[in-house]
Amino acid sequence: MSELDPKIVAAINGENGEAQKAGTRKCLMSRRQFLLTSGLTTTVVMVGIPGMSEAETPAVVSTYPRKFIAKLSDLKTDEPFDFEYPDEGQFAESILVKLGQKAGGGIGPDQDIVAFNYTCTHQGGPLQGTYQAADKALGPCPLHLTTFDLTRHGIFIAGQAYQSLPQVLLEVDGDDVYAVGMFGLIYGRFDNLQG
Ligand code: FES
């Protein structure tokens, strides 16, 4: 059985800067390796094949780009910053905001800086300009009024949607804030990574 390339494992685990170089590769991965390596910066697709042992289940590991978003020192509480991730394609527009209170997936000294995709998971309504500082929420969506809680991984708190808003995973390196992955599928896409 082939072992997982150590460079891929290192990239998945965020141990070095190899994530960008690694790209997308086919590999063989045991279920245990899958559980260990389904880290923050990866999308892993498992396909079970009848007759094939668990240890030889094929998997495709895709690595997100690491993109500089903003300076930590420039961020002010409740002043959103817009950016695009993981590419500049359709539905990539996203919000970065320092909430001023600890949040799920939050980074920075106070774990209060989060980022989310701007496209409503119900039917793709645009959530730009709907940040509510008082509630630390995004919405209501202009189409059917869904509102999402940015302190709790973008879970919907009212309205028509039944899926959380995709969260952009962030990383701090000194004073630099980077986007390094996504949790959740962006509306309108079959795969967050296009092309
Ligand atoms: S598209 Fe946003 S609630 Fe329907």
pLDDT digits 0-9 by tens, 35-89: 333 334 444 444 344 444 545 544 444 589 999 999 999 999 999 999 999 999 9
Active site residues: 122, 144
Nearest to 64 by CA among 193, 184, 168, 165: 193
Using most ligand atoms within 8 A of CB, pick from 116, 119, 120 the residue to mutate for ligand 1. 120
- pLDDT at residue 11 is higher than 60: no
Question: What number does the ligand 1 atom closest to the CA of 127 have?
Answer: 2
Q: What angle do CA 17, 181, 73 make, to 5 degrees?
A: 80
C-alpha span between 164 and 166 (Å, rounded)? 6
Q: Which structural domains are found in the chain, ordered by start?
A: 6-63 (no CATH), 67-183 (2.102.10.10)
pLDDT digits 0-9 by tens, 102-146: 999 999 999 999 999 999 999 999 999 999 999 999 999 999 999
Cut 0.75: pTM above it? no
Half-sphere exposure of 79 (CA within 13 A, CB side): 7
